[in-house]
Amino acid sequence: MKTTTIEKLMTKNLIKLNLSDQLTKAESLFKGNNIRHLPVVNGNHIVGMLSYNDLLRISFADATDDDGDTVETTIYDMFTLEQVMSKQVSAVSASDPIEAAAELFITENFHALPVLDHDKLVGIITTTDMIRYYNTKCK
């Protein structure tokens, strides 16, 4: 039986943050792209991961103005991206079997992993990607 590699499931069109970016940019990327995880880079090197839950943890709740459209982001000015992101980053290789990602999702309780190729960030794989894959495989 042929093993499926992470490259087949991963998202290649990366949306990422630079270490110097503001948390307001992160929130805008999360909401504007309907995603829940963002790799954080310094130059070409991955230095962390930020999840939407990380933002929720510091914001207590989304506070909106009277029109319901504008999010109050004052709390984001109190923190840097580096203070909020997860710095303990495990990664997988694009050529790894998907079971390698599944094992990390289970043992480390991650929901997203950066995908590296020779230490260069080339993608991201999430638990949603895995569920989609197995759902289509089982049909």
Whether 100 maps to a domain, the answer reads yes
DSSP strand pairing (120-126 vs 92-93):
unpaired
pLDDT in tens, 50-102: 999 999 888 864 554 555 444 556 788 889 999 999 999 999 999 999 999 99
Whether 123 maps to a domain, the answer reads yes
Tell me 3's DSSP state. P
Instruction: Give the model's pLDDT for residue 112.
Output: 97
* C-beta of residue 4 within 8 angstroms of C-beta of residue 98: yes
Token pair, residue 33, equals: 């792209």
Instruction: Give the model's pLDDT for residue 1.
Output: 59
CATH code of the domain in which 100 resides: 3.10.580.10
Provide the residue range defining the domain that includes 28: 6-138
Query: Considering the entire predicted model, what is its pTM?
Result: 0.86
Structural domain count, the chain: 1
Whether 1 maps to a domain, the answer reads no
Whether 11 maps to a domain, the answer reads yes
Tell me 20's DSSP state. T
CA nearest 40: which of 54, 55, 10, 20? Answer: 20
